[in-house]
Amino acid sequence: MLGQEPVNPLTMMDARAIGVMRMRDEKGLDDKIIAVSVKDPAVSDYMDHTQLPAHLLREIRLFFEDYKALEHKQVVVEDFMGPVDAIRIVREGLDMYRKLRRGELGKL
């Protein structure tokens, strides 16, 4: 999530999904949701990843490419997708989680 303030792990925050970065690694697809803190005036006006400065998108891409390289893993970062795709992916993940909790899916 993008914002000015540091965020502690497991902190609940109001956020808006503005895009998704799709990665492929040895385990398959690995989508990274790009979100902004809706209460942070520095980023709250962003509605789509295309509004972000180009250098910030490059930084996000390079961060994930570099950390995978440090783990000696190959990763392919595909193009960024928009907020509609991000929301769809989050909803699909929630649906899968609910089915898993109800015992409708085997272990993933």
What does the pLDDT look like over 55-82, one tens digit per residue? 999 999 999 999 888 888 888 998 899 9
For 6-28, how does the pLDDT look when each residue is reduced to its tens digit (9 = 90+)?
Answer: 999 999 999 999 999 999 988 88
pLDDT at residue 33, as a whole number: 96
Quickly tell me which residue has 């649906």 as its tokens.
Answer: 95
The domains of the chain are located at 15-101
- Residue 34 phi/psi, 5° resolution? -100, 120
- The three-point CA angle 50-29-4 to 5° equals 40
CATH number of 15-101: 3.90.80.10
User: Given a cut of 60, is residue 108 above it in pLDDT?
Assistant: no
Q: Which pTM was predicted?
A: 0.86
Smallest CA-to-CA distance from 62 within 32, 84, 93, 27 is with 32
Q: What value does the mean pLDDT take over residues 36-58?
A: 96
What is the token pair recorded at 50? 């295309």
pLDDT at residue 27, as a whole number: 86
